[in-house]
């Protein structure tokens, strides 16, 4: 059997790694296609090394552009690859433009498509990812859900139960696998182990593309930095907008983007995490680090029900209050749900073959 995997953005690597590793035990011929939607080669190489992934067999070099242009470029460049390789299965992960672009090509050509992390819904159609999730799910032949809300959403949308498998989170699989390798990382000595810190990651367009919103959120971080160190590994898109909005980082410590191992090392030692990322919400909950999410909705409600996550929107007052409460309350024990057991990849591999 030949299975082709599609990745396009850095979070995709964590999700696909667990599936590819589990399929190695089934004697499957695997092909990895990197669309290049996130096109920082150094960071992609670091991510591949940290996750012990093979080098991509095919790189499409799609690059940046509007959502429409990027999705269209993925389709144009992926179609001839699919026709040449002719896999038995195509696996797409997550909700980025590459996920939808590849899914549409599979649908047009009648190639069997599996979607990992299916059924997630924020119910916020202003998020480009929400459209990608919904359309990819309705194109897919086999849908692997990462939490019970995904099963309920797909059932409500009329997708037959026979096409749905409750698999669990491959994000958690990758996190649990690398945790032992994050102890003693040099990054911890570089930032200093002796003082607590808040770890920040912001990259979504709704947070960073509007200069007024970015200034407001960044102002809250600057005020927070008077109470505790604020470490902010800056996504390239965010750094560009910080400069365009003429924001001065007086107290917030801006860092270069980090590889997966270094970022997990910082997460596990953080006092609190501030984010607008879906995957980080899951990781923080597993690590039992209080997480303050700069969004009004989340596609991962399990992080609210079982984890340590709280939504504050983009209101600086709510953000500051939630972070200060988290710092004062410290870490708390949580009961992790079954789908965070580190075996999602194995369940997916078994169903695929």
User: Catalytic residues, which ones?
Assistant: 203
Q: How far apart are CA 286 and CA 297, in angstroms?
A: 20
- The H or E element that residue 18 is part of is helix 10-23
- The H or E element that residue 200 is part of is strand 197-201
The residues near 22 (Cβ < 8 Å, ≥ 6 apart) are: 345, 346, 348, 349, 350
Q: Give me the residue label for tokens 């959120």.
A: 217
Helix, strand, or coil (residue 278): helix
The residues near 326 (Cβ < 8 Å, ≥ 6 apart) are: 271, 272, 290, 292, 310
DSSP character string of 127-165: SHHHHHHHHHHHH-SEEEESSHHHHHHHHHTT--GGGEE
Q: How far apart are CA 330 and CA 105, in angstroms?
A: 48
User: Quick check: 113 and 41 in contact, CB under 8 A?
Assistant: no
Q: How far apart are CA 177 and CA 274, in angstroms?
A: 23
User: Quick check: 309 and 293 in contact, CB under 8 A?
Assistant: yes
Closest CA to 6 of 70, 92, 84, 83: 92
């Amino acid at each position: 059997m030949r299975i082709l995997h599609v990745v396009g953005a850095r979070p995709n690597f964590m999700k696909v790694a667990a599936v590819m590793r589990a399929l190695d035990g089934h004697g499957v011929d695997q092909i990895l296609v990197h669309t290049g939607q996130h096109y920082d080669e150094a960071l992609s190489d670091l991510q591949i090394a940290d996750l012990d992934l093979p080098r991509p067999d095919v790189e499409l070099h799609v690059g940046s552009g509007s959502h429409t242009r990027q999705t269209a470029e993925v389709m144009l460049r992926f179609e001839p690859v699919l026709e040449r390789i002719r896999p038995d299965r195509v696996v797409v992960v997550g909700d980025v433009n590459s996920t939808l672009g590849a899914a549409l090509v599979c649908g047009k050509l009648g190639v069997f498509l599996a979607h990992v992390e299916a059924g997630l819904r924020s119910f916020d159609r202003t998020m480009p990812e929400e459209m990608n999730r919904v359309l990819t799910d309705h194109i897919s032949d086999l849908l692997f859900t990462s939490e019970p809300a995904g099963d309920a959403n797909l059932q409500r949308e009329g997708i037959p139960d026979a096409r749905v498998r409750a698999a669990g989170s491959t994000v958690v699989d990758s996190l649990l696998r690398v945790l032992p390798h994050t102890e003693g990382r040099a990054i911890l000595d570089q930032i200093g182990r002796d003082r607590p810190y808040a770890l920040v990651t912001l990259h979504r367009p709704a947070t960073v593309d509007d200069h007024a919103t970015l200034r407001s959120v960044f102002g809250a971080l600057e005020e927070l930095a008077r109470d505790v160190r604020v470490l902010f590994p800056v996504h390239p898109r965010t750094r560009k907008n910080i400069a365009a909005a003429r924001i001065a980082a007086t107290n917030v410590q801006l860092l270069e983007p980090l590889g997966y191992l270094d970022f997990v090392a910082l997460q596990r030692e953080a006092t609190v995490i501030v984010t607008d990322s879906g995957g980080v919400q899951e990781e923080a909950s597993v690590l039992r680090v209080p997480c303050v999410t700069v969004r009004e909705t989340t596609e991962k409600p399990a992080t609210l029900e079982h984890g340590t996550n709280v939504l504050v929107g983009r209101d600086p007052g709510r953000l500051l209050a939630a972070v200060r409460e988290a710092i004062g309350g410290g870490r708390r024990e949580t009961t992790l749900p079954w789908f965070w057991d580190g075996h999602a990849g194995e369940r997916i591999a078994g169903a695929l073959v």
